[in-house]
Amino acid sequence: MAITLDKQIAIHLETVKTQEGEVERYVIETTGQLVRLGDGMYIRYKEEDEETGQTIPVTFKLQDDGEIQLTRETDAIRTKLIFLAQKKISGTYKTAYGRIPIEIETKRLKSQLKNQPISGSVEIDYRLTTNGELLGDYNIRLQFTA
């Protein structure tokens, strides 16, 4: 990857969550940063928690080996999801009440980066479970441009 930068970007993010037959769709339009560090490209932005109004820092890390990590962190909650194409990854979800074991099964994983103009996209479809119980199926579509 030839991109070596720290650039402000416009972000369009759509997340579709299917849980117990119910479908919820979230759309975020915001600005953020695209940063190249070490073995990865970072997309960073902030979103607002609809329930608490708290600002939540969000980071997508796109590694050169194809792995993508999604991190969201507040004082009480920390989520770090690791996505590898067609793989199941175990992790934990930190809540105010303790840690919950989770399993992330990545069904689709695709990322694209372009130099001219600086832009790209991330597509992730995954299933989230805890102790064998389905928490939901998720589809993330993120597009950005400088």
For the stretch 100-129, pLDDT in tens is 999 999 999 999 988 888 899 999 999 999
pLDDT band at 4 (very low <50, low <70, confident <90, very high): low
Whole-number Å distance between alpha carbons of 39 and 132 = 33
Whole-number Å distance between alpha carbons of 61 and 73 = 14
CATH number of the domain where residue 135 is located: 2.40.128.20
Q: Is the overall model pTM greater than 0.85, yes or no?
A: yes
Neighbours of 137 (CB within 10 A): 16
Establish if 132 belongs to a structural domain.
yes
Q: Which residue segment(s) compose the domain that 29 sits in?
A: 6-145
Domain count, the chain: 1
Exposure string over 30-63, b if 16+ CB within 10 A, otherwise e: eebbbbbeeebbbbbbebeeeeeeeeeebbbbbe
- Phi and psi for 20 in degrees, rounded to 5? 50, 45
